[in-house]
Amino acid sequence: MSLDSVAPIAGFGVALLLAPPLSRWSGQPVITMHLLIGLLTQLLSGTRMPSIFAPAHNAALACITLAAGSELVVAELRRNARSIAYISCMITLFTIACVFTAFVLVGDTLASQAGSGNSVADANLRRVQAMLAAVVAVGRSPSSAMAIVSELQAEGPLTTTMLSVTMVSDVLVILLFTAACELAHVLYSGHVLQSTRAVMTLEGTIISFCSTVAIQIGLSVVHGIALAYLCLPILDLDELRSHGRAQHGATRAPVAAVWAEEYDAPSPPPSTRASEGEEEDEEKVESVSGWVRSAAQPALLLVLGGYAFGAEALLKRLATMLSLWLYHAPWPNVDSLRLEPMLACMVGGFWLCNVLRRRTQLRRLLNTCLPPLIAFFFFTTGTAMRVHQLRLAWPFAVTVFYSRALGIFVGNYTGVALAARHAVCVGERTDEERRRGHSGPAESTCAGVQCYGWAAYVTQAGITLGLTDELAAVFPTWGPALQAPLISSVLLTQIVGPPLLKAALTYAGEAHALSPFARRPAHRPLLGSRDSMVEFADVADSPDIRRASDADSG
């Protein structure tokens, strides 16, 4: 281990110890504390994130994205499909428009004041950067939203709509980012542009661009489905452990029954006491094997996440080898084979929970391994920040933050207005909800979501930071310079966003916690929330419920 790796490892240990108390003391999210401690570690040690941490960083991001995909519930999406579509599309449209316009105006103003960067190439580069910044600004933070909802025991139309729009927006931003990266290559890359002018017309360029994006998205979706099936053996380890325990107990029960019937004795004679030590040894071996399986599940999930980010390089290598074997020459279009790892992980989580029906097992595994992975991801993101670029990029960071907030406000207001006009009020109360006490006119519900809903979408976190990492990797010449203001904007949203979300849920009357300290247990879903609806069938069919029902009927 090199000396450069010692400081980040020590800093991560300090972050695990100090981030929770600092979060309680300051009122800020724990992930913000991890981000700041990572940045402080870099400033004190003078070293950025070592390259040896990059695979673990990508694997953690894959697990976070997999968890976000698992939160997409088909039943909930169908219930409020039109209202969710209105709000998601309007927020996305106005956010991109506001951020793109503000980014271009500020960039041109700063360039004219500096007296440099006024060439046509520099102006085109600023517009490409503005396009990518606007697309990244569409991202949300499902983890932060779920944490605030859990803390406030929030329940109601705004809460349900906010969670659904947040999940759908993460899918949209990944799809848009995939298309925007391809468009940026076409608009800015010199060799692509020259070849396009030489052999293609404008229609050919558009067709080539659309086909490339469609192939990339299609391959990524297929890759995500493959990830879901590769995850099945990992989830089955838990079932195998439970089955082994049940089988071990079942094999011991008939022996005791035969002994009691044969000898009419409540306890075995002294000659069989020696077998008790063997049974204890078997139980110890079983407990050790169970512990190994429990530790193997998170490790294998991390390996699967690392594979998700390394699959593109593997696919290109296999395509090159196949071309050399068939045609004795490398395939010239091998660079067109691209896989979007975050889209694949999102599709994998969705497929696991909605098609393969493994939501309970996946959520149990994620509840075990996700907290340290989130802490590691945000800490390493802080250590990877380019501090000198942060000092120079604050005008763009503030521009992205305020223009994004404006776009969210206008988009939410317009989306709710369209939903109300088409008689699809956001969070419209059903007869069941009225019987549960959620009475009131639909117009007041729309008014509440229209007034307070925008504040629920301000926070950004893991997926957005992951897109900035990919942006810096895809465009190494100017990507890191664009990454700095985007990360700074995410940091601002992490400071301002959670208090805004708390205020929105409180003013909408959906924060049902009696006090900030009256928090429900993390493992217990809120009654009436989406989690309780999803997990009700699993809870009702549990062995404890069946035994209690049999006892009552007896």
Q: What is the pLDDT of residue 445?
A: 54
> Are 539 and 406 in the same domain?
no
pLDDT band at 530 (very low <50, low <70, confident <90, very high): very low
Q: Does some domain include residue 56? A: yes
> Are 144 and 179 in the same domain?
yes
Q: Does some domain include residue 299? A: no
Contact (Cβ atoms closer than 8 angstroms) between residue 471 and residue 432: no
Q: What is the pLDDT of residue 405?
A: 92
Sign of the CA dihedral running 306, 312, 317, 319? positive
> Are 41 and 132 in the same domain?
yes
Q: Does some domain include residue 393? A: yes
pLDDT band at 30 (very low <50, low <70, confident <90, very high): confident
> Are 504 and 528 in the same domain?
no
Q: Does some domain include residue 72? A: yes
First to last CA, the chain: 65
Q: What is the pLDDT of residue 94?
A: 94
pLDDT tens digits, residue range 227-247? 999 999 988 886 665 555 555
Q: What stretch of H or E contains 98?
A: helix 81-114
pLDDT greater than 60 at residue 314: yes
The 8-class DSSP code of residue 51 comes to G
Helical residues (DSSP H) of 328-393, grouped into ranges: 341-354, 359-384, 387-392
Query: Which range, of 8-22, 42-56, 66-80, 260-274, averages the lowest pLDDT?
Result: 260-274
> Are 392 and 533 in the same domain?
no
Query: How far is residue 538's CA from residue 353's CA, in Å, rounded to a whole number?
Result: 13
pTM equals 0.69
| C-beta atoms surrounding 252 within 10 Å | 12
Q: Does some domain include residue 67? A: yes
The 8-class DSSP code of residue 527 comes to T
Could you tell me the maximum CA-CA distance found in the chain, to the nearest angstrom?
102
Across the range 69-78, mean pLDDT stands at: 76
Question: Among candidates 59, 65, 28, 285, which has minimal Cα distance to 174?
Answer: 65
DSSP string, 242-308: HHHHHHHHHHHHHHHHHHHHHH--SS--GGGTHHHHHHHHHHHHHHHHHHHHHHHHHHHHHHHHHHH
> Are 358 and 502 in the same domain?
yes
Q: Does some domain include residue 34? A: yes
Give percent of the chain above pLDDT 90: 8
| C-beta atoms surrounding 197 within 10 Å | 10
33 contact partners, CB below 8 Å, separation of at least 6:
15, 18, 19, 20, 22, 23, 26
Across the range 252-268, mean pLDDT stands at: 48
> Are 431 and 532 in the same domain?
no
pLDDT tens digits, residue range 82-113? 888 888 999 999 999 999 999 888 877 766 66
Across the range 439-451, mean pLDDT stands at: 54
pLDDT tens digits, residue range 112-167? 665 555 566 677 788 888 899 999 999 887 767 766 776 677 777 777 788 788 87
Sign of the CA dihedral running 119, 120, 122, 123? positive
Query: How far is residue 97's CA from residue 190's CA, in Å, rounded to a whole number?
Result: 26
User: For the chain, how many structural domains are there in total?
Assistant: 2
pLDDT greater than 70 at residue 60: yes
Across the range 40-52, mean pLDDT stands at: 81
Give percent of the chain above pLDDT 70: 68
The 8-class DSSP code of residue 237 comes to H
> Are 407 and 552 in the same domain?
no
51 contact partners, CB below 8 Å, separation of at least 6:
none
Q: What is the pLDDT of residue 227?
A: 93
pLDDT tens digits, residue range 196-238? 444 445 566 667 667 777 888 888 889 999 999 999 998 888 6
Q: Does some domain include residue 274? A: no
pLDDT band at 304 (very low <50, low <70, confident <90, very high): very high
CATH number of 59's domain: 1.20.1530.20
Q: What is the pLDDT of residue 228?
A: 93
> Are 492 and 536 in the same domain?
no
> Are 214 and 130 in the same domain?
yes
Query: How far is residue 132's CA from residue 479's CA, in Å, rounded to a whole number?
Result: 10
Which is more confidently placed, 159 or 550?
159
Residue with tokens 């909605």: 354
Q: What is the pLDDT of residue 373?
A: 87
Q: In Å, how far are 281, 286, 348, 535, 539 from 243, measured between CA atoms?
A: 19, 12, 26, 21, 19
pLDDT greater than 70 at residue 71: yes
Which is more confidently placed, 522 or 75?
75
> Are 553 and 503 in the same domain?
no
Question: Among candidates 100, 97, 96, which has minimal Cα distance to 126?
Answer: 100
Q: Which residue range(s) make up the domain with 542?
A: 524-554
Q: What is the pLDDT of residue 276?
A: 54
> Are 505 and 535 in the same domain?
no
Q: Does some domain include residue 392? A: yes
